[in-house]
Amino acid sequence: MKTCIALLLLVLSTLAHADALGLRGHAGLWLGEIEGSLAQNSLSFDEVNFERENYHQYAYVFVEHPVPLIPNVRVHYSSIEASRQYDVAAIENIASSRIDLSHLDLTLYYELLDNIVSVDAGLSARKYFGEISLNGFGNSQTADYDHVLPMLYALAEVHFPLTGWSIGVEGSYTEYNDYTVADYSARVRYLLDAVVKVGVDAGYRNMHMQVDKSFGFDFDVAGPFASVAVHF
């Protein structure tokens, strides 16, 4: 969490002097529970015995500008990791398991509406830094998932004037090669009315990911999240 907040503040402080830019930054924790199965042998995550409910760190920054035709930029990082070590006798010959599907999004988007109702749409490139490993005595299997995926991106918000409150939904989707990813969230936000607006977000996020490969998987990470928000 400290790493995400430090990165967020560094980016915002670097860009804050550009008068024509609008900047929004968020850093928080996502209590995402992992459910699913490994496609190779239909082994469920319950059987592999992951720590299914983890606090995952995330941070993102929006950079907006008034120049026509040039898209705005959104950068989003999520850390998603789970692991477990246990008695070999409890589950055949697997002694440990680990999943890491952390990822970085770079999104170029346009503001289609920017008033009480805001609508953004664009394209993302998502880079996974992924790995799944199952390790036991004489049986170790590891698969890397480190591809860059093109994704559609959209965001819709409703602002309640003079209150500081807003609600919004955000989502990304792709079917690319062996990958299907649907990542969406809904949230409520409160910002203090000041030159630099500081506030909080809270909501729910679900990321579904299916990989059709020899060592593929089908899983969901879903649960509530909360973050601090800084808007210039």
Q: What is the spatial distance between Cα 153 and Cα 76, in angstroms, rounded to a whole number? A: 12
Report the alpha-carbon distance of residue 61 to residue 8 in Å, rounded: 7
CA distance linking residue 106 with residue 74, whole number of Å: 6
Q: Give the confidence band of 95 by pLDDT, cuts at 50, 70, 90.
A: low
Per-residue pLDDT of 173-199, as tens digits, reads 999 988 999 999 999 999 998 888 999
- pTM (2 d.p.): 0.83
The rounded distance, in Å, linking the Cα atoms of 181 and 59 is 20
For 72, the token pair is 């705005």
Q: Tens digits of per-residue pLDDT, 97-138? A: 778 889 999 999 999 998 999 999 999 999 998 888 777 655
pLDDT at 14 over 90: no
Which one is predicted more confidently, 229 or 67? Answer: 229
Query: Contact at 8 Å (CB) between 137 and 95?
Result: yes
- Looking at residue 50, what is its pLDDT? 55
- pLDDT category at 66 given cuts 50, 70, 90 is confident
- Res 3: pLDDT: 56
Average pLDDT score over the chain = 82
Percent of the chain with pLDDT over 70: 76
Amino acid at 160: F
The CATH number that domain 2-223 falls under is 2.40.128
Q: With contact defined as beta carbons under 8 Å apart, do 21 and 60 qualify?
A: no
The tens digit of pLDDT for each residue in 152-178 reads 999 999 999 999 999 999 999 999 988
pLDDT for 97 equals: 73
* Residue 89 predicted with pLDDT over 60: no
Question: Is residue 68 classed as helix, strand or coil in its secondary structure?
Answer: coil
In this predicted model, which residue has the larger pLDDT, 214 or 114? 114
Burial 70-92 (b: 16+ CB within 10 A, else e): ebbebbbbbbbbbebeeeeeebe
Angle at 81 between CA 180 and CA 155, to 5 degrees: 50
Q: Does residue 80 contact residue 101 with C-beta atoms inside 8 Å?
A: yes
pLDDT band of residue 47 (cuts 50, 70, 90) is low
Tell me the CB-side half-sphere exposure of residue 163, using CA atoms within 13 A. Answer: 11
Q: What is the pLDDT of residue 10?
A: 52
- In this prediction, residues 20-38 reach a mean pLDDT of 86
Q: How confident is the model at residue 18 (pLDDT cuts 50, 70, 90)?
A: very low
pLDDT band at 31 (very low <50, low <70, confident <90, very high): very high
